[in-house]
Amino acid sequence: MSTVLTNITKSYDSEKPVLNDINAEIQTGEFFVIVGPSGCGKSTLLRMIAGLTQISDGEIRINDKVVNDLPPKDRNLTMVFQSYALFPFLNVWDNVAFGLKARKNTSQAEIEKRVNEALKMVNLESLKDRKPRELSGGQRQRVALARAVASDAKICLMDEPLSNLDAQLRIKMRQEIYALQRKLGLTLIYVTHDQVEAMTMADHIMVLHDSKVQQIGTPAEIYKYPANEFVASFFGVPPINILPAVKVSNGRINVNNDFEVNIDQQVPADNFKVGIRPNELVIEQADELHANASVKSIEFLGDEKIVYAKMSNNGLEVAVEVSSDADFKAYDTIKVSATEKVLLFNGDGVNITRNAEDVVNA
Amino acid sequence: MSKYKKLALPLILVLGIVLIAVFGKALSAKSAVKDNRTEVVFWHEMGGPSEQALVKVVDGFNKSQNKYKVVPKYQGSYDEAIQKILQTHNTSTSPAVFQAFDISTAQMLHSGYTTPVQNFIDEDKYDVSKISAVARAFYANDGKQQAMPFNTSQPVLYFNASLLEKYGITPPPVSPSYSDITRVAKELYEKSGHKVKGMTVQVYGWFLEQALANANRQLANNNDGHTGNPTKVNVNNPDTVEFLNWIKENIKAGDFIDYGSGANAGANQTAGFLSDKVGIFIQSSASMGQLSKSNKNKLGITYFPHPDGKKANGVSIGGAALWISNDKPKDVQRGAFEFIKYTLKPEVQAQWQKSTGYLALNKDSQKTDILKELYAKNPESKVPGEQLAHAKANFSNSGILMEGMQLTRQLEEVAMETVYNGGDIKTALNTADKNINDNLTQLNKANGFK
Amino acid sequence: MLKTSTTDAIPDKKVNATHRHSFRLNAKDKYYAAVFLGPSLLVLGLFVFYPMLKTLYISLFLTNTLGNTTVYVGLGNYVNLISSPDFISSLFVTLFYVFAVTFFTVALGLLLANLASQKLPGIAIFRTLYSVTMGVSVAVAAIFWLFIFNPSTGFFALMSSWFNLPVMNWLTNPTSAMWAVIITTVWMNLGFTFLILLGAIQSVPNTLYEAADVEGASSNFQFFHITIPMISPTLFFVSTITIIGSFKSFGLIDMITKGGPTNATNMLVYRIYKDAFYSGNYSKSSAEAIILTVIIAFFTLLQFKFLEKKVNY
């Protein structure tokens, strides 16, 4: 009982495929997030699962049934669109009831029961007579959710449902969607470009980039053991610092010719890179003689500060997380070093950190 | 500064208006080429080949002298021209001389907008005896010539002589009766294996009126208006009934085809006749020019049919006359009359008949080579003239001098259409009577006629 | 909370309601108002209001041969008209024509627009074909259809003879003449209506259809429950202009039937024209014109009162 994607490929005309050889298994009842930068084909993949876009090659199975040639309505799923796709001429209640009425196989009493329940679930009972134009963005979003809830389908697809909302509201709706998914036991396949959404809600994340799956894993796996440089850079705020490195001796590497780090594994002689999260970098004030970087700017975030510094060599910039009472100003000369928790990437960007191999599947 | 700004907008507006006015004037002045001739604007309603013939007449006049210049302007249908003439009177656009059709005679007479041509005839001591008396009488009132007949026609019956020959059908006699025509029409329809319809009569009030004239029946009281202003019409009379019954009989037999009313119907029935779809139809003699020109068949012409067992009374003339407006200066009116005199010259009338089929009004035209040649080549083109000569003028066949003739015709046509579409004759005619009389009563009231 | 963060607000429709009462004109404004309004008021007054009032005035009199008002009859002309079966039948003929034309124009326009909005190869050719009548003038259309209707040499006659059917004379039978005029008018209107409706259909967001696809709505259901309501403002627009346009229909009538046969296609506007410019009965046609004005005003009002409420979302 799951949704299985096997060797999915999509190409228009004979150009470079938009999606190439996608494989995944989405478990029933899980919150599955497809994430990637814009243009990576994530929406296309979702639309192919929905049946709105034909697949060029491969196979989609839902509950052990190949659905490649089934029209959307026979795949027993619902979808929430980025634009919500509400009918402007119908009030909230009728918008939610639309699908039930369209299928023509639900009794009037049943429709009323389900619509009212769905509205109750998203706290819209009092607004059921309003037209979409009389609703705020968040309320519209809830109507779209209610529509998905009212349908009996156990698979729900969401295409960037929060991207039209402002930051505060996005956080709130994130929680609501998550709660709803858990409460109803929905299989939720959720597309977003926002790594925070992916990290906060997903049971599993699929990272798409450059027409290919970069990695599939739980948020923790993705964060701790990114399959490659792209995945590492995509998750985490501020993004991971990627710096060139060379081997000094066994167990020791030199980063950017600025500082050295001890490591617990074999590395190639050169042509590899090191990834260091901002919180794994350490800085201290230093005079010009001992400094290897200078402070460019500082962001105050409450409990901590982010210090952006320019390394002496190569003009590379790094972000460093320090506690908010640390005393740094712009143009301070500093000395940058790192803890031993670093990631190593080879020349092709593949993660070569020890312990990472077992999670890399792409 | 702001003071000037305030002025700028109205100034621009005023300037614009002035510019438009000045240039407009300049342009319109430019369009009328100035020479020393007195310009005489002539409104007419001759379309198609007749217009070309008319332009030739005008050109002939303009070349024949150097004092006046006649400018012909086409005004559309007879019907529409009347209101244009009446409503532009006393404006600079109005014509000096205009062509108005037969049934508008009473209206023009009552308008008081025209100078009777009799005034000029008397001044010039112009001899009118050469001009057809029947035609003159139509446009005369109280012994005074009000307008001069110009294009004069008679309705005649055309048939496809080649088709009759092909199927061995005896052609209708000269001055046929209704049943003569029915016989030919039915035979043609049957013998052609229903490929050719026998006959048609266009829905046209003129034909209904002519049927009454030919049966010596007056439509309006006071002798069709010749002895006083009519106050009552009587469309529902035995002769109308007989005329419509004749048509109805042919409709029932299947040999009749209905082309409807109006200019399109005229064009359609001509097309049908020329393409062997219908064998017989009634039309003005003025169509002869067009019918003989583009006809691959031999054209047969005979008199307008008359009721069975009755002698033909003769039909009245149709067509139009030339009137002189009284809102133009003396010399322009004089020019208009000079033009009218020119149109009546024997050769001009002869050529006019030859090119259009309208009848030459000057008796001397018959002696011209133009007509002699024409008759030698197409003997049938004599028929309309003979029909006219055959008739003795009386009140029944001298036209109807009545206000509101245009609406009267429309209402007659509604009655005809009703019958053509299977309606009851008596009911249709009673409706027509009621509507025509209502309109007549109101018009007489509006015009202050007793 | 940061000042820049937007609140989740409901759009408010009535923000500026209080503004109106403080509206005052100073001398300068008055001056400009006069300058800007003056020309259009002048033109409107001269060419619209004066003729309208004059028409009303004439309709209360009888007019003589010259078109001058002579005898005051009060509402006599109106009474005559309303009690004339001829005029009443003209009224019904007009209404029938208007509604038939509007119905078929909008229905066919919608059908074609819906067909042409499908994403199929070569559909652009059909879009051009369907909208081609927009570039056809009334005169050309009339001649084109007159040729088709011609009982001897026309296209329909030809078809009938191929199949050995009796030739129907479209323009001389009152019923078929009405349909002939309706067909011609609808044909004329179709190009424009098609184009407007196609534009409306194409501007319906595609996600609405996709949402409906996922929800299991059939394409029929989608047409009636998404397309129609979504384009209802446009439907309202085209039916309003078609209704008003058909009330004013003149050129085609004049060229095809001249109001006949037996007045079967004698629409009000054509009747007004004939009574005035053929028969010279200006008082009668003025009264008819006033009645037509009232009727059109009534329908316009009706449409805006009832229909607009339903189509506004």
Write the pLDDT tens digit of every residue in C63-100: 888 888 888 988 999 999 999 888 999 999 999 999 99
- A135 CB near a chain C CB, below 8 Å? yes
B263: exposed, middle or buried (Cβ count in 10 Å: 0-12, 13-18, 19+): exposed
C89: exposed, middle or buried (Cβ count in 10 Å: 0-12, 13-18, 19+): middle
* Residue in this structure with the two tokens 């200066």, named with its chain if needed: B329
Radius of gyration from C-alpha coordinates of chain A = 24
Do A98 and C8 make contact, defined as CB atoms within 8 angstroms? Answer: no
Nearest Cβ partner for A81 among C8, C207, C232: C207
- A95 CB near a chain C CB, below 8 Å? no
With beta carbons under 8 A apart, name residues in chain B contacting C151.
Answer: 257, 259, 268, 272
Pairing of strands A77-80, A155-159: parallel
Write the pLDDT tens digit of every residue in A13-35: 767 888 888 899 999 999 999 99
Nearest Cβ partner for B417 among C86, C150, C261: C261
Q: Which of B90, B268, B434, B436 should we substitute to test contact with C (largest number of C Cβ atoms within 10 Å)? A: B268
With beta carbons under 8 A apart, name residues in chain B contacting C35.
Answer: 9-10, 13
Pairing of strands B68-74, B38-44: parallel
Give the residue from C301, C305, C310, C287 showing the smallest Cα distance to C58.
C287
pLDDT, mean of residues A277-293: 90
User: CA C178, CA C169: separation in Å to the nearest integer?
Assistant: 12
Please say if the pLDDT value at position B271 is more than 80.
yes
User: CA B108, CA C1: separation in Å to the nearest integer?
Assistant: 91
CB B40 within 8 A of CB B322: no
Domain positions in chain A are: 2-233, 236-359
Q: Which residue has the higher pLDDT, C223 or A354?
A: C223
Rounded to 5 degrees, what are φ and ψ at B120? Answer: -75, -35
Do B87 and C62 make contact, defined as CB atoms within 8 angstroms? Answer: no
Please say if the pLDDT value at position A217 is more than 80.
yes
Do C70 and B82 make contact, defined as CB atoms within 8 angstroms? Answer: no
User: CA C227, CA A95: separation in Å to the nearest integer?
Assistant: 15
Write the pLDDT tens digit of every residue in C38-67: 899 999 999 999 999 999 999 999 888 888
With beta carbons under 8 A apart, name residues in chain A contacting C212.
Answer: 98-99, 102
Q: Which of C7, C214, C220, C234 should we substitute to test contact with A (largest number of A Cβ atoms within 10 Å)? A: C214
Minimum CA–CA partner of B83 in chain C: C277
The 8-class DSSP code of residue A153 comes to -
Contacts of C51 (CB under 8 A, 6+ apart): none
Please say if the pLDDT value at position A357 is more than 80.
no
Q: Is A351 helix (H, G, I), strand (E, B) or coil?
A: strand
Instruction: Note the pLDDT of residue C8.
Output: 58
With beta carbons under 8 A apart, name residues in chain A contacting C215.
Answer: 73, 78, 98-99, 102-103, 147, 151
The 8-class DSSP code of residue B220 comes to B
Among A48-52, B134-138, B300-304, C10-14, name the one with the lowest average pLDDT. Answer: C10-14
Among A1-10, A198-207, B349-358, B440-449, name the one with the lowest average pLDDT. Answer: A1-10
- C66 CB near a chain B CB, below 8 Å? yes
Sheet containing A272-276: order of strands: A259-262, A252-255, A241-249, A272-276, A343-345
Please say if the pLDDT value at position B32 is more than 70.
no
Q: Hey, which chains touch C, using 3+ CB pairs under 8 Å?
A: A, B
CB B310 within 8 A of CB B181: no
Among A284-298, A311-325, C144-158, C242-256, name the one with the lowest average pLDDT. Answer: C144-158
- C274 CB near a chain B CB, below 8 Å? yes
| Cis omega (within 30 of 0) for bond into A238 | yes
Amino acid in the structure at residue A85: A
Amino acid in the structure at residue B200: T
Averaged confidence pLDDT in chain C: 85
Q: How far is B169 from chain C (nearest CA, A)?
A: 23
Q: How far is B372 from chain C (nearest CA, A)?
A: 36
With beta carbons under 8 A apart, name residues in chain A contacting C213.
Answer: 51-52, 71-73
Radius of gyration from C-alpha coordinates of chain B = 25
Q: Which of C43, C257, C262 should we substitute to test contact with B (largest number of B Cβ atoms within 10 Å)? A: C262
User: CA B421, CA C177: separation in Å to the nearest integer?
Assistant: 12
Please say if the pLDDT value at position B191 is more than 50.
yes
Instruction: Note the pLDDT of residue C15.
Output: 44
* Residue in this structure with the two tokens 């659905």, named with its chain if needed: A67
Strands, DSSP E only, in chain A?
2-10, 19-27, 31-35, 57-62, 65-66, 77-80, 155-159, 187-192, 204-209, 212-217, 241-249, 252-255, 259-262, 272-276, 281-285, 293-300, 304-311, 317-323, 333-338, 343-345
Nearest Cβ partner for A85 among C6, C211, C232: C211
Q: What angle do CA C91, C94, C96 make, to 5 degrees?
A: 110
Domain C77-311 carries which CATH code? 1.10.3720.10
User: CA B228, CA B221: separation in Å to the nearest integer?
Assistant: 9
Q: Which of B447, B449, B450 should we substitute to test contact with C (largest number of C Cβ atoms within 10 Å)? A: B447
Write the pLDDT tens digit of every residue in C103-116: 999 999 999 999 99
User: CA C42, CA B303: separation in Å to the nearest integer?
Assistant: 61
Nearest Cβ partner for A133 among C11, C211, C221: C11
Averaged confidence pLDDT in chain A: 88
Q: Is A345 helix (H, G, I), strand (E, B) or coil?
A: strand
- A133 CB near a chain C CB, below 8 Å? yes
Q: What angle do CA A121, A124, A127 make, to 5 degrees?
A: 160
Element (H or E) spanning C27, and its range?
helix C27-44
Cβ atoms < 10 Å from Cβ of B37: 14
User: CA C158, CA B103: separation in Å to the nearest integer?
Assistant: 39
User: CA A330, CA A311: separation in Å to the nearest integer?
Assistant: 14
Name beta bridge partners: A208. Answer: A213
Q: Is A205 helix (H, G, I), strand (E, B) or coil?
A: strand
Write the pLDDT tens digit of every residue in C149-174: 887 778 888 888 788 777 777 888 88
Contacts of B174 (CB under 8 A, 6+ apart): B302, B303, B383
Q: Which residue has the higher pLDDT, A70 or C310?
A: A70
- C265 CB near a chain B CB, below 8 Å? no
Give the residue from C138, C104, C128 showing the smallest Cα distance to C238.
C104
* Residue in this structure with the two tokens 């009918």, named with its chain if needed: A87
Instruction: Note the pLDDT of residue A347.
Output: 85
Write the pLDDT tens digit of every residue in B304-337: 999 999 999 989 888 999 999 999 999 999 999 9
Please say if the pLDDT value at position C183 is more than 90.
yes
Give the residue from B57, B54, B71, B131 showing the smallest Cα distance to B335.
B71
Amino acid in the structure at residue B197: K
Q: What angle do CA B173, B178, B180 make, to 5 degrees?
A: 40
| Confidence band of A348 (pLDDT split at 50, 70, 90) | confident
With touching defined as 3 or more inter-chain CB pairs under 8 Å, the answer for chains A and B is: no
User: CA B237, CA B310: separation in Å to the nearest integer?
Assistant: 15
* Domains, in order of start, for chain B: 38-152+318-367 (3.40.190.10), 155-314+393-447 (3.40.190.10)
Pairing of strands A333-338, A317-323: unpaired
Domain A236-359 carries which CATH code? 2.40.50.140
The 8-class DSSP code of residue B174 comes to S
- In percent, the amount of chain C with pLDDT more than 90 equals 38
Tokens of A114: 């389900």
Nearest Cβ partner for C216 among A50, A103, A139: A103
The gap between the terminal CA atoms of chain B, to the nearest Å, is 72
SS3 annotation, B327-339: CCCHHHHHHHHHH
C-alpha distance from residue B224 to each of B116, B182, B299, B403, C297 (Å): 22, 30, 34, 11, 45
With beta carbons under 8 A apart, name residues in chain A contacting C225.
Answer: 98, 102
Q: How far is C238 from chain A (nearest CA, A)?
A: 19
Q: Is A217 helix (H, G, I), strand (E, B) or coil?
A: strand
**Total residues belonging to chain C:** 313
Please say if the pLDDT value at position A262 is more than 50.
yes
| Cis omega (within 30 of 0) for bond into B171 | no
> In B65-127, which residue ranges form alpha helices assigned H by DSSP?
78-88, 105-111, 117-124
| Confidence band of A116 (pLDDT split at 50, 70, 90) | very high
| Confidence band of B62 (pLDDT split at 50, 70, 90) | very high
With beta carbons under 8 A apart, name residues in chain B contacting C281.
Answer: 404, 407, 439, 443
Q: Which fold has domain A2-233?
A: Rossmann fold (3.40.50)
Minimum CA–CA partner of B195 in chain C: C161
Please say if the pLDDT value at position C19 is more than 80.
no
Do C214 and A87 make contact, defined as CB atoms within 8 angstroms? Answer: no
CB A34 within 8 A of CB A45: yes
> In A122-269, which residue ranges form alpha helices assigned H by DSSP?
137-150, 167-184, 195-201, 219-224, 229-234
Q: What angle do CA A315, A316, A322 make, to 5 degrees?
A: 125
Please say if the pLDDT value at position A244 is more than 50.
yes
Among B93-107, B200-214, B253-267, C18-32, name the one with the lowest average pLDDT. Answer: C18-32
SS3 annotation, C177-240: HHHHHHHHHHHHHHHHHHHHHHHHHHCCCHHHHHHHHHHCCCHHHHHHHHHHHHCHHHHHHHHH
Instruction: Note the pLDDT of residue C310.
Output: 62
With beta carbons under 8 A apart, name residues in chain B contacting C155.
Answer: none
Do C174 and B277 make contact, defined as CB atoms within 8 angstroms? Answer: no
User: CATH 1.10.3720.10 in chain C, residues?
Assistant: 77-311
Q: Is A254 helix (H, G, I), strand (E, B) or coil?
A: strand
Instruction: Note the pLDDT of residue C18.
Output: 45
User: CA B158, CA B156: separation in Å to the nearest integer?
Assistant: 6
Minimum CA–CA partner of A135 in chain C: C10
Q: How far is A246 from chain C (nearest CA, A)?
A: 45
User: CA C154, CA B271: separation in Å to the nearest integer?
Assistant: 11
Tokens of C270: 């054509």
| Chain A residues 208-267 within an 8 A CB cutoff of chain C | none
- Mark out chain C residues that contact chain A at CB-CB < 8 A: 1, 5-6, 8-11, 205, 207-208, 210-218, 221, 225-226, 229-230, 232, 313
**Whether the predicted interface score ipTM is above 0.90:** no
Give the residue from C102, C135, C108 showing the smallest Cα distance to C237.
C102
Nearest Cβ partner for B417 among C256, C262, C279: C262
